[in-house]
Amino acid sequence: MTVSSQGEAPLESPAAIRSGRPRAAVAAGNGGLVLVLVLLTVNVLADGPLVGADRRIRAAVQAPATAPAWRWLSDSWHAPAQLLVDLGSYQVAVPVLAACALIAAARLRTLRPLLTALAGVVLLLVTVTAAKIAIGRPGPGLTTLGSFGLGVFPSGHTTTATVCLGLAVLLLLPFCPAGAGRAAVAALAVVCLLVGVALVWCDYHWFTDVVAGWALAVLIIQAALPLLTPQPPRWSISRWGRGRG
Q: What is the reported pLDDT for 232?
A: 56
Q: How far apart are CA 245 and CA 233, in angstroms?
A: 20
Closest C-alpha among 231, 193, 208 to residue 50: 208
Residue 243 lies in a domain: no
| CA-based R_g, the chain, Å | 22
pTM for this predicted structure:
0.84
Positions in the chain whose pLDDT score sits under 50: 1-19, 235-245
Q: What is the reported pLDDT for 231?
A: 63
Q: How many domains does the chain have?
A: 1
Residue type at position 162: T
Residue 123 lies in a domain: yes
Residue 5 lies in a domain: no
Q: 232 with 190: CB under 8 angstroms? A: no
Q: What is the reported pLDDT for 229?
A: 83
Helix (H), strand (E), coil (C) string for 67-121: CCCCHHHCCCCCCHHHHHHHCCCHHHHHHHHHHHHHHHHHHHCCCHHHHHHHHHH
Q: How far apart are CA 190 and CA 165, in angstroms?
A: 12
Strands (E), the chain: none
Residue 102 lies in a domain: yes
Domain that holds residue 21: 17-236
User: Could you report the per-residue pLDDT of 99-145, keeping only the tens digit for each?
Assistant: 999 999 999 999 999 999 999 999 999 999 999 999 999 999 998 88
Residue type at position 117: A
Angle separating helix axes 178-201 and 156-172, nearest 10 degrees: 170
Residue 10 lies in a domain: no
Q: What is the reported pLDDT for 235?
A: 46
Q: What is the reported pLDDT for 203?
A: 96
Residue 7 lies in a domain: no
Q: What is the reported pLDDT for 146?
A: 77
Residue 180 lies in a domain: yes
Q: What is the reported pLDDT for 24?
A: 81
